[in-house]
């Protein structure tokens, strides 16, 4: 009885040990096996897709800036905001024309309208007026241009099409100028709103 039990335990121990060795060998082989590199065809497909994504995103971004600028020209209270909005309509309309020409040459269908997400932002801003509109528009312009600059820097560094790379590099200084002006505008409307609030409070106290 004791001998039979010993044999069973021995066989079980040997089996467990062999199983452990087998698993270890498989893991060691997997760790030492180099990852299969992407084929040239796959790399080209990824590059083309990245170019198309950048081109479509840039076009939609310019459409949004034009639409928001047109609203700001009509609804803004501050002359500085109106001046900035006019520049947005002019600069981004020009950029959109260039993007359409690039899309036509590369046979890429660009969006004809802004996305649902951008439409929500547009409608929310459209409902505001006076100093509240000015502050919201200035804030959105700072945020949008920070995002645009990051996208264009990435496009300038990674675009495969020479024309697209050149467009990104050429447009970056304009976007950086927009951002600088948007920050100045945001500071201006914040101070303007604060001073008007203090004047109004003093008048009520009298």
> Tens digits of per-residue pLDDT, 18-69?
454 454 444 455 555 454 445 554 444 444 578 999 999 999 999 999 999 9
> Tens digits of per-residue pLDDT, 62-117?
999 999 999 999 999 999 999 999 999 999 999 999 999 999 998 999 999 999 99
Contacts 24+ apart (CB under 8 A), 91-96: 91/174, 91/178, 92/62, 92/63, 92/65, 92/66, 93/62, 93/66, 95/58, 95/62, 95/171, 95/174, 96/59, 96/62, 96/63, 96/66
Asked if residues 59 and 101 have their Cβ atoms less than 8 Å apart, the reply is: no
Q: Which two tokens stand for residue 149?
A: 């600059």
Q: What is the pTM of this model?
A: 0.71
CATH topology of domain 40-205: Ferritin (1.20.1260)
pLDDT of residue 49: 78
């Amino acid at each position: 009885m004791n001998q039979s039990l010993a044999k069973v335990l021995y066989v079980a121990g040997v089996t467990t040990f062999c199983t452990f060795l087998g698993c270890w060998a498989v893991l060691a082989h997997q760790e030492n096996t180099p990852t299969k590199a992407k084929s040239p065809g796959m790399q080209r497909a990824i590059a083309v897709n990245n170019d198309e994504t950048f081109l479509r995103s840039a076009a939609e971004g310019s459409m949004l800036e034009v639409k928001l600028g047109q609203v700001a020209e009509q609804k803004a209270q501050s002359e500085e905001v109106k001046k900035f909005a006019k520049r947005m309509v002019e600069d981004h309309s020009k950029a959109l024309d260039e993007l359409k020409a690039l899309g036509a040459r590369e046979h890429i269908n660009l969006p004809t309208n802004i996305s649902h997400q951008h439409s929500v932002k547009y409608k929310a801003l459209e409902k505001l007026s006076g100093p509240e509109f000015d502050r919201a528009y200035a804030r959105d312009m700072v945020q949008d241009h920070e995002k645009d600059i990051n996208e264009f820097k990435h496009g300038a560094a990674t675009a495969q099409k020479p024309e697209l790379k050149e467009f990104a590099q050429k447009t970056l200084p304009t976007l950086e100028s927009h951002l600088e002006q948007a920050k100045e505008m945001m500071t201006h409307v914040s101070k303007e709103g604060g001073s008007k609030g203090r004047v109004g409070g003093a008048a009520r106290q009298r």
